[in-house]
Amino acid sequence: MSDHPNSPLHPAFAALSVPINDNGTSAANNFIAPLSHYGFLAIAGADAAKFLQGQTTCDVSKVDAALSCAGAYTTPKGRMISSFQLTQSDAETYLLRMRADIVESTKAVFGKYIVFSKAEQQNASEDYIAIGLCGDQAKAAVSNAFAACPCDVHQVVNHQGNLALQIDEDGKLFECWIKTSELAVFWPRLSQGLELQSSRHWELKLIHLGLAEVSANTVDRFIPQMLNYQITGAVNFTKGCYTGQEVVARMQYKGKLKRPMYRIKVAAQDLTPGTDLYSTGEQSVGNIVNSVNLDNTHSEALAVITSKEVEQGTVVVGTDRATIEVLSLPYAITNND
């Protein structure tokens, strides 16, 4: 089960009569997937960059029309309300792509502070649609649609406000943020030579990369380091002050992270975000962050778990107490020892 099992296909695809093929395997390659579980928040105005710089974990000064970054917004206690991918659509407008189920809650929190800035925000989820492209043919598809293609992780190609972002180091994962009004133009170009799949195949790729996302069920639950953001680059430790910065910095330089995030496989289907993990007792030792059902018998997930329990090999998940198998990540987990 994906962690957004009921997300409908974005209405913009209805006019294109796009049929979704879901072959139920974990080995889908060279595919294109509508990412209807994502929404967008637009921040615009003369103070947009200044506002975001003072509220988020990423260094907004490095973001422009050719470069994106991952980031988060945390409470004063360092707990994440939102995680996102950020870039510019024009000189004074920033787009934050995040889970659709947290766009309005993020907007509400930002609304408490943005009134003091020369900036405005808007839920832009009806204006843009996210599309994922994966595989050896993805770069050619992006080039076909944009007449250019990003050539490094987080690089962006901007075509009149339509954006293509490279997500991975290898150049095989790209996100395209397409204006809904121009989807009919871009879709035939982007989909050429790629198999159409559901978004869970895209989500599985992110799980393999260890790239976790906050959703509605995990709001205010994790500090950034619990999702390994100090490793994946969603936190900048030299940018200066932002909401929650003292707590996040203290954990990085003076604390010991007891619950990092692991990639796991488990013989269970119902692994919604926030699902508890246990060890030998009844007290929770962790929680599911994101998950994807592979074959109706197993799921892969990213989960925040107490390191001690992982080392002892006693962790189980859900009401069925299914035993987890810890899988590899493309980076080493650091516990601030």
Q: Domains for the chain: give ranges and CATH numbers.
A: 11-209 (3.30.1360.120), 258-331 (2.40.30.160)
Q: In 3D, which of 162, 176, 191, 72 has the Cα closest to residue 130?
A: 176
The β-bridge relationship of strands 261-266 and 93-99 is unpaired
The CA-atom distances, in angstroms, between 98 and each of 35, 116, 189, 296, 305 are 11, 24, 25, 27, 24
Please give the Cα distance from 270 to 197 (Å, whole number).
Answer: 21
Q: What is the DSSP letter of 14?
A: G
Q: What is the mean pLDDT of residues 270-289?
A: 91
Number of continuous H segments (helices) and E segments (strands) in the chain: 8, 17
Could you give the angle at which helices 138-146 and 183-191 cross, rounded to 10 degrees?
150
If DSSP codes are grouped into helix, strand and coil, which group holds residue 41?
Answer: strand
pLDDT digits (tens, 9 = 90+) for 81-127: 999 999 999 999 999 999 999 999 999 999 999 999 999 999 999 99
Q: With bands split at pLDDT 50, 70 and 90, how would you rate the model's confidence at 241?
A: very high
Q: How far apart (Å, rounded) are the C-alpha atoms in residues 75 and 109?
A: 9
Taking the model in full, what pTM does it have? 0.92
pLDDT at 4: 45
Query: Is the model's pLDDT at 248 over the cut of 80?
Result: yes
Q: Which of 258, 250, 196, 187 is nearest to 226 (CA)?
A: 258
Q: Evaluate if residue 169 carries a pLDDT over 60.
A: yes
Q: Which of the two residues, 247 and 5, has the higher pLDDT score?
A: 247
